[in-house]
Amino acid sequence: MDYGDGTGIEPLVLNPDNSFGLAHDYADNGSYTVTVAITDPEGLTSTDTVTVTVNNVAPFAMVSNNGPVDEGSPVTVTLVNGADPSPTDTAAGFHYSYALDTASLATSYADAIDGASKDFTFADDGIYATHAPHFRQERRLQRVQHGGDRQ
């Protein structure tokens, strides 16, 4: 049994009715060719392949801030606990973008250069929305809108 992702060949265990079940965790999205080889007691082998498509899963992060703060003082908005189910995407790293309106946000991984947090200063008290998409490998996670309390 070869799952086609470089993890190596694994033995295939047959059920008493000669059926088998497969379960494998892929480290990253993509198309993989799974190869199954079955050898009978007389040494004859049959091989077949099937293509498995693993879909991309969005990374996630939580947004927080150090508010409430006094008007005219900076509030720091932070994306914390950024993670991705894919260790490959996690190893590549995340990029962040913060803005007060969606038109000012970065639109690609390369353009998202804010770091994991950003300071905003508001002249007057109120509740302000910040937008913070979380990027990884040219894919945008999501836009997180966060209403930060201001005093």
The structure's pTM equals 0.60
Quick check: 147 pLDDT over 70?
Answer: no
Residues in the chain: 151
Q: Give CA–CA dist 27/20, Å, rounded.
A: 23
**The pLDDT value given to residue 145:** 37
In tens, the pLDDT along 74-87 reads 999 998 888 888 88
Q: Which fold has domain 60-149?
A: Immunoglobulin-like (2.60.40)
Token pair of 1, please? 């049994």
**The pLDDT value given to residue 118:** 92
**The pLDDT value given to residue 4:** 96
Distances (CA, A) of 88 to 8, 34, 119: 18, 20, 30
The kind and range of the H/E element at 52 are strand 45-54
Where helices occur in 32-117 by DSSP H, the ranges are 87-92
Q: Which long-range contacts (CB under 8 A, 24 or more apart) does 12-18 make?
A: 12/36, 12/37, 12/38, 14/38
Token pair of 20, please? 């088998």
Rounded-to-5 percentages of helix, strand, coil across the chain: 5, 40, 55
Average pLDDT over residues 1-8: 94
In the chain, where are the structural domains located?
A: 1-55, 60-149
